[in-house]
Structure 1
Amino acid sequence: MKFLPRANPTVAQMKLHKERRTRKAKAKACLFAAVSPSIFIKIMKIDSTAEIWEYLKEEYKGDERIKNMQVMNLIREFEMKKMRESDAVKDYAVQLLSIADKVRLLGKEFSNEKIVQKILVTLPEKYEATISSLENSKDLSTISLTELLHSLEAVEQRRLMRQGDTAEGAFQARMHKNAGHKNGKVNNNKSCGNNQKNGVFPPCPHCKKTNHSPQKCWWRPDVKCNKCGKQGHVERICKNQQQEETSAAVDYCQEEQLFAATCFANKSTSKSWLVDSGCTNHMTNNQDLFRELDRTIISKVRIGNGEYIPVKGKGTVAIESQTGLKLIYDVLFVPDIDQNLLSVGQLVEKEFKVYFEDRNCIIKDAEGKEVFNIKMKGKSFALNLLEDEHTAILQQDSTTMFWDRRVEHFHHDDVLYMKKIK
């Protein structure tokens, strides 16, 4: 219906006409904004707001039978809703409220009590303790929807905060990025899992299995074993390797536990030794430091994040210093760590005394003689024998025991004396 002004309108009539036109345009804009794009195409050519409203009313009102069918479908959807373990309480409540609002728009009653009962019945098992607490403290038949949602959301938030706490702290060891490739176990398991997800491979011509490609078969005739030197298999399945691991496991079955810092603020080099109170054994990743290395001792060490890394041997490490050659006994060879470690526990076990005072780490032997005095750098104690001047050795035996008598080497003090009198 169009509103046309009179031939000679008054100021009040002109003002009223302007207001009516504004209201008409505003109502039309509201209807256009409320409908979906597909419906907007159907009503965009209708000029009158009243005609647009009548069209929408006839299109979507329907009779009572259609309304009842829609309500039944919505109630069925509501009854079939269940909260999954990964769903958030707020998202699940929004889904139920959306269905309830649709039912109410169709003119049917839908109380919040039904929503409360639905939430209590369909909650996952992890909320059982919360429901029991509410049953003991309140009457669930009178609890409001808002109160229930607030209680569940608070519990959910606390659980997420606890799960978000990471294990990265001052007592974790870093591993090389290629450590998984060295171990072989993790990467091989993952690759097999991915292959099985992607599909079944054709039978391997070497081992007749269907869970890997021929290029990744352990029994390839062109591959050479690094353990026994024979062709036709890899080191992982070598019989000699399995026999050594079995014999070593009988004699050395106890798993060591390693804790080390995630980062070293003092920028210590690989030649330095970090004094670690959480490490149970001396450890190094440098094979060249070993004077004697027994590779039959094979085990594992556990790092701070719970993962296990392999031990490839145990032996005696020779370290060159300004005062001579130093030997450290019972050192584990762990290729996957990035820092040499001195175990405080192993030093104490060898009757050494370790003190931490005045930003220094002082190591003394059983007689009370000072062996090392290490200054703290970046909240850690890194021992570098080539940079720092130290006064003693890392064992109770005499310094003459540091030289291999079997080949009749001269003692370091004797060499210095001969150089002096030359």
Structure 2
Amino acid sequence: MLYEKTSKTWKWWIEQQSPSGYKWVPKTKIQWVPKAKNENVQKRIVQLIIFIVDSGCTKHMTGNLKLLCNFVKKFLGTVRFGNDQFAPILRYGDLVQGNITINRVYYVKGLNHNLFSVGQFYDADLEVAFWKSTCFVRDLQGNDLLTGNRGSDLSMISLQESTSSTPLCLMAKALPTQAWLWHRRLSHLNFDYINLLSKKDIVI
């Protein structure tokens, strides 16, 4: 009974204090409702695949066979790493990124990184441009096909795949060998030319 009298008195006081034309409305009751669980929501997991843009590599190469499609199983020789170790080239295939297809990417068993060959881009009538912090792969019309970041030591192009179940980042690291050292000092000169300079005892 006391509560009803107090409520009526409070309502009358509010009506007296409110400007004319306004009507006092009691506050709505707020009730906590737990959020419904949506089990149909699927998380999108993006996979990052990093390729090193390198003029010392004669062909596009990868050690991850899952990146390639339309591959041809064929032994194509061996590749010599900077530490004088050899790895077999077992097949080649296409690397598809959106509407861009990069043909003839070699699968090298045991290769722990991915390499884009500047020379192979040139052979496909593509331009490779390096700026202070960016690198581009363009067609003859000037359209940017691939864009990457250029750091102090390496130029990297990051590709994205949304079909992978786990994140993945592949990155090349230069080995501390004399061949790699001169490869970097000579603006990523092809290893074949470095070996030729060494055999002829040419001093630069």
The alpha-carbon distance between structure 1 residues 280 and 306, as it changes in their structure 2 partners (threshold 3 A), is same
Q: After TM superposition, give the deviation of residue 325 of structure 1 in Å.
A: 4.6
Partner residue in 1 for 2:63: 285
Query: What are the superposed Cα offsets for residues 269-293 of structure 1, whole Å, 9 maximum, x if unpaired?
Result: 9721111110000001111111111
Unaligned runs of 5+ in 1: 1-268, 388-422
Is the contact between residue 311 and residue 333 of structure 1 (CA under 8 Å) also seen in structure 2?
A: yes
1:299 aligns with 2:77: yes
Number of equivalences? 115
Query: What are the superposed Cα offsets for residues 344-382 of structure 1, whole Å, 9 maximum, x if unpaired?
Result: 110011111111122211221122222233222452122
Is the contact between residue 48 and residue 160 of structure 2 (CA under 8 Å) also seen in structure 1?
A: no
Partner residue in 2 for 1:327: 101
Partner residue in 2 for 1:138: none
1:353 aligns with 2:164: no
1:224-373 equivalences in 2 (<5 Å): 271-319=49-97, 324-373=98-147
2: CA distance between counterparts of 1:378 and 1:335? 29
1:186-197 equivalences in 2 (<5 Å): none
Instruction: State the one-letter code of the partner of 2:147.
Output: N
Does the residue aligned with 1:368 lie in a helix, a strand or coil? coil
Does the residue aligned with 1:275 lie in a helix, a strand or coil? strand
1:144-183 equivalences in 2 (<5 Å): none
Is the contact between residue 89 and residue 109 of structure 2 (CA under 8 Å) also seen in structure 1?
A: yes
Aligned with 1:382 (options 153, 156, 165): 156
Is the contact between residue 281 and residue 331 of structure 1 (CA under 8 Å) also seen in structure 2?
A: yes
Q: After TM superposition, give the deviation of residue 298 of structure 1 in Å.
A: 3.2
Partner residue in 1 for 2:173: none
Instruction: State the one-letter code of the partner of 2:85.
Output: E
Does the residue aligned with 2:82 lie in a helix, a strand or coil? coil
2: CA distance between counterparts of 1:298 and 1:346? 16
1: CA distance between counterparts of 2:145 and 2:119? 16
2: CA distance between counterparts of 1:384 and 1:276? 14
2: CA distance between counterparts of 1:372 and 1:316? 16
1:205-216 equivalences in 2 (<5 Å): none
Structure with bigger strand share is 2
The alpha-carbon distance between structure 1 residues 349 and 273, as it changes in their structure 2 partners (threshold 3 A), is same
Query: What are the superposed Cα offsets for residues 220-252 of structure 1, whole Å, 9 maximum, x if unpaired?
Result: xxxxxxxxxxxxxxxxxxxxxxxxxxxxxxxxx
The alpha-carbon distance between structure 1 residues 287 and 373, as it changes in their structure 2 partners (threshold 3 A), is closer
The alpha-carbon distance between structure 1 residues 344 and 318, as it changes in their structure 2 partners (threshold 3 A), is same
CA RMSD of aligned residues (A): 2.1
1: CA distance between counterparts of 2:145 and 2:88? 31
Does the residue aligned with 1:382 lie in a helix, a strand or coil? strand
Is the contact between residue 352 and residue 363 of structure 1 (CA under 8 Å) also seen in structure 2?
A: yes
Q: After TM superposition, give the deviation of residue 329 of structure 1 in Å.
A: 0.4
2: CA distance between counterparts of 1:372 and 1:326? 9
Question: Which has the higher Rg, Structure 1 or Structure 2?
Answer: 1
2: CA distance between counterparts of 1:275 and 1:291? 21
Query: What are the superposed Cα offsets for residues 28-82 of structure 1, whole Å, 9 maximum, x if unpaired?
Result: xxxxxxxxxxxxxxxxxxxxxxxxxxxxxxxxxxxxxxxxxxxxxxxxxxxxxxx
Structure with bigger helix share is 1
Instruction: State the one-letter code of the partner of 2:144.
Output: E
The alpha-carbon distance between structure 1 residues 351 and 325, as it changes in their structure 2 partners (threshold 3 A), is closer
1:30-49 equivalences in 2 (<5 Å): none
2: CA distance between counterparts of 1:270 and 1:340? 12
Q: After TM superposition, give the deviation of residue 297 of structure 1 in Å.
A: 3.4
Is the contact between residue 361 and residue 375 of structure 1 (CA under 8 Å) also seen in structure 2?
A: yes
Is the contact between residue 300 and residue 308 of structure 1 (CA under 8 Å) also seen in structure 2?
A: yes
